[in-house]
Chain A
Amino acid sequence: MTEEIIIAGFGGQGVLSMGKILAYSGIMQNKEVSWFPSYGPEMRGGTANVTVILSDTRISSPVLHHYDTAIILNQQSLDKFEKSVKPGGILLYDPNGIVHEPARKDIKIYKIEGTRLAAESGNPKTFNMIVLGAYLKLKPVIELDSIEKGLKKSLPERHHKSIPGNIEAIRVGQENVESILVL
């Protein structure tokens, strides 16, 4: 199994940390992982993206231009990465702020109303975990148990009390993902 993912959105949406949790959880399942971020000025308030690879075998290139899954959290990223999804691959997006819907017909398209659900839950910070939940529903490459372990290892101890809330957010995401285009 090799899963090649791009996660893209605004800086501050938790793009990089979502990727980090996914990668750390992969390690908990003895997978090979890589996490390569966009870095530099675009981090600060602009767009942010990260390439995450999970694999059962040694990972060759950590830098990719075609992905099995694209997790898209704003319009700029949709414009930039829709074309990068491999035919038959998955595009998962949050419709918040999206004015031009994805148009490809050769990929599976799903949406998760992460922004709305997070706001309704009263904890907007769980936004990225809701989106992660939606992804895991579509691609159950990582078990929830590993996510919990991954969070424990990647978060400083003072944040451990937030782990149950994060796990709950993942469940919310798993339950609310909607299919837009099925091949």
Chain B
Amino acid sequence: MGDVRLMKGNEVIAEAAIRCGCDGYFGYPITPQSEVLETLAIRRPWEETGMVVLQAESETASINMLYGAASTGKKVMTSSSSPGISLMAEGISYLAGAELPCLIVNVQRGGPGLGTIQPSQADYFQTCKGGGHGDYKLIVLAPASVQEMYDFVELGFELAFKYKNPAIILSDGVIGQMMEKVELGEYKPRWTAEQIQEISGSWACLGKAGRERHISTSLELDPYGMEKNNLRFQAKYREMEAKEVRYEMFDCEDAEYILVAFGSSARICQKTVEIARSKGLKVGLLRPITLFPFPTPIIRELAGTVKGFLSVEMNAGQMVEDVRLAVNGKVPVEHFGRYGGVIHTPEEVFDALKQKLIGE
């Protein structure tokens, strides 16, 4: 085993950034994710790897610092929690429109408004269906463990650069605040100027030397030109749907009922599956790891064999819409969740399953 530690999800985001060769982090404090910036400040990566860390004056500024740094082909990231992500929405739309690779982390808390600082999953719509203006998609990764918080930083960057698109880790207060065993990877050096040239030299703004000027922009005043841009974006999103869907299944082989849950809710549902199985009920769990692209094909396939789905989310029913689209009326799809920062219990989920689907 490599370097095994007991760490908080938020701390691990910082550690993963340093170790995967991130060039810069720009962020603003907000509970429950402030440990990301705090850990970076303690670690002083600028002395170790040369990674830049800057506390911005607002989330609006952080996302735009990200836009600037990402425009130069560097590996850069930010993190925040729900209200801060709302402030960033403008910048995220611009990043997607300018096709800039970068990584954003949302450690969700309960809303709307200032809401609560307790864990929530109510930003599913904001993250997967828009948030900012215009037709754009983010690559959305939903970690369910501290180890995945670590792993998804590198994966997020990899996918962001592969598709020239912002990637987002959609976490929540549970995963951000809890400590688990995590195996840290080897240090990977930051990209050299030559590597950046090779990877992003065709578009990055690094100074016009012996070539046409590069312009990092989302602006195209000609609507036909802008439609062409949109067609390119859509083709990219379709390619993601074809190639990048990730999910995990527990006890689905013989399942009659399937819980669909992501992130911390999926952890709770695993316990529900244990409870149900101990009572002889054939219940399985499907955990989407990518929320965009959503694991539509496997849900469609399972819809042919099971009696129903229960989408379990810490919100009033958001992902359930995507589950229903995938199932397309073949079998019942219900939602269960607690709102506003309350975490549902495995027993509550089990009761909801019985009431809403099994019919007891």
Binding site for B on A (CB under 8 A): 20, 23-24, 27, 32-37, 39-40, 59-65, 153-154
Interface segment, one of B18-26, B163-171, B172-180, B201-209: B172-180
Closest to A34 in B: B180
CB < 8 Å: which of A20, A61, A153 contacts B270? A61
Given contacts A39-B31, A62-B264, A63-B174, contact A32 B271 (CB under 8 A): no
- B260 close to chain A: CB less than 8 A: no
> Using Cβ atoms and an 8 Å threshold, which residues of chain B touch A35?
6, 178-180
8 Å CB interface, B6-49 against A: 6, 31-32
- A27 CA / B147 CA spacing, docked (Å): 14
Q: Is the CB of B31 within 8 A of A33?
A: no
Q: Is the CB of A60 within 8 A of B181?
A: no
Interface segment, one of B90-98, B231-239, B295-303, B343-351: B343-351
- A36 CA / B6 CA spacing, docked (Å): 12
13 A-B pairs with C-beta separation under 8 A: A35-B180, A36-B174, A36-B178, A37-B177, A40-B31, A60-B270, A60-B271, A60-B346, A61-B267, A62-B178, A62-B264, A62-B267, A63-B264
Given contacts A23-B179, A35-B179, contact A65 B6 (CB under 8 A): no
Q: Is the interface of A mostly helix, strand, loop or mixed?
A: mixed
> Using Cβ atoms and an 8 Å threshold, which residues of chain A touch B184?
none
- B139 close to chain A: CB less than 8 A: no
Q: Indicate the member of A34, A37, A63 with the most B CB atoms within 10 Å.
A: A63
Closest to B275 in A: A60
- B89 close to chain A: CB less than 8 A: no
Could you tell me the distance in whole angstroms from the C-beta of A112 to the nearest C-beta in chain B? Answer: 25
Binary contact readout B333-356 vs A (1 if CB under 8 angstroms, 0 otherwise): 000000000010111000000000
Could you tell me the distance in whole angstroms from the C-beta of A121 to the nearest C-beta in chain B? Answer: 28
- B4 close to chain A: CB less than 8 A: yes
> Using Cβ atoms and an 8 Å threshold, which residues of chain A touch B6?
20, 23-24, 27, 33, 35, 154
Binary contact readout B100-137 vs A (1 if CB under 8 angstroms, 0 otherwise): 00000000000000000110000000000000000000
CB < 8 Å: which of B177, B268, B270, B273 contacts A39? B177
Number of CB contacts from chain A to chain B under 8 A: 65
- B274 close to chain A: CB less than 8 A: yes
Could you tell me the distance in whole angstroms from the C-beta of A23 to the nearest C-beta in chain B? Answer: 5
Given contacts A39-B117, A40-B117, A65-B345, contact A34 B178 (CB under 8 A): yes
Could you tell me the distance in whole angstroms from the C-beta of A142 to the nearest C-beta in chain B? Answer: 13
- A57 CA / B207 CA spacing, docked (Å): 54
Given contacts A63-B174, A63-B268, contact A27 B32 (CB under 8 A): no
> Using Cβ atoms and an 8 Å threshold, which residues of chain B touch A32?
181
> Using Cβ atoms and an 8 Å threshold, which residues of chain A touch B343?
63
Q: Is the CB of B180 within 8 A of A33?
A: yes
> Using Cβ atoms and an 8 Å threshold, which residues of chain A touch B5?
153
- A33 CA / B347 CA spacing, docked (Å): 22
Q: Is the CB of B32 within 8 A of A61?
A: no
- A24 CA / B345 CA spacing, docked (Å): 26
> Using Cβ atoms and an 8 Å threshold, which residues of chain B touch A33?
6, 179-181
Given contacts A33-B180, A62-B174, A62-B180, contact A40 B347 (CB under 8 A): no
Q: Is the CB of B181 within 8 A of A27?
A: yes
Q: Indicate the member of A27, A40, A62 with the most B CB atoms within 10 Å.
A: A62
> Using Cβ atoms and an 8 Å threshold, which residues of chain A touch B345?
63-65
- A29 CA / B224 CA spacing, docked (Å): 64
Closest to B178 in A: A36
Q: Is the CB of A61 within 8 A of B271?
A: yes
- A38 CA / B270 CA spacing, docked (Å): 22
Q: Is the CB of B31 within 8 A of A60?
A: no
14 new A-B pairs (CB below 8 Å) besides A34-B180, A62-B264? A20-B6, A23-B6, A27-B4, A33-B179, A33-B180, A35-B178, A35-B179, A37-B177, A39-B117, A60-B273, A62-B178, A62-B180, A63-B268, A65-B345
> Using Cβ atoms and an 8 Å threshold, which residues of chain A touch B267?
59-63
